[in-house]
Structure 1
């Protein structure tokens, strides 16, 4: 199993942030199915002010490239992503069209 941590910003507007959170309380079933079918086992999104952090736990053979190809062919995922761009803004370091940025792990502690 692999763990990934990604970051993205929301547009810094309280009404948009509230609407974004509401959308994530009612994620479309097709989006959940797409996430799971890509090899992702669990996904969590956290927020502080307008900064988002996503934590993904995925099968060892999961790849973002494979997921991106799956998403390209899924009209519901494309519709969801277009809707989410109304609330999201890319990090300053993002390439054109890039949303979530993979973060580097700088510390790890295990008790096992």
Structure 2
């Protein structure tokens, strides 16, 4: 199993943030299924202010490239992603049009001394 951590910012607007959270309490079944079909075993999203932090746990065959390809070919996922751009903005340092940015692990309690 692999773990990935990603970050994203929301637009700093309390009403939009509340709407975004409501959408995520009722994620479309097709979007949920696409996540599972890509080999993602677990996913949690946390928020502080307008900053989001996602933890993904995946099987060993998971690939970000394959997930992106699957998403491009799924009209419902594309509809969801377009809808979410109303609430999201790139985190500082993200590329143009880039949403979730992969974070680099800098510490682990389990690392050997």
TMscore range, shorter length: over 0.9
Indicate the residue corresponding to 1:73 in structure 2.
73
Deviation at 1:94, TM superposition (A): 1.0
Deviation at 1:95, TM superposition (A): 0.9
1:5 maps to 2:5 = yes
Deviation at 1:104, TM superposition (A): 0.5
Deviation at 1:22, TM superposition (A): 0.4
Deviation at 1:30, TM superposition (A): 0.3
Deviation at 1:68, TM superposition (A): 0.1
Moved beyond 3 Å, runs of 4+: none
| Number of equivalences | 110
Alignment TM-score, normalising by the size of structure 1: 0.96
CA deviations on 1:27-70 (whole Å, 9 max, x unpaired) are: 00000000000000010000000000000000011010000000
Distance 2:95 2:50 in 1: 19
CA deviations on 1:50-101 (whole Å, 9 max, x unpaired) are: 0000000000110100000000000000000000000000012111111000
What root-mean-square deviation, in Å, do the aligned CA atoms of Structure 1 and Structure 2 show?
0.6
For structure 1, which runs of at least 5 residues remain unmatched after alignment?
none
1:45 maps to 2:14 = no
Indicate the residue corresponding to 1:61 in structure 2.
61
The worse-fitting range, judged by mean Cα deviation, of 24-33 and 101-110 is: 101-110
Indicate the residue corresponding to 1:26 in structure 2.
26
1:107 maps to 2:107 = yes
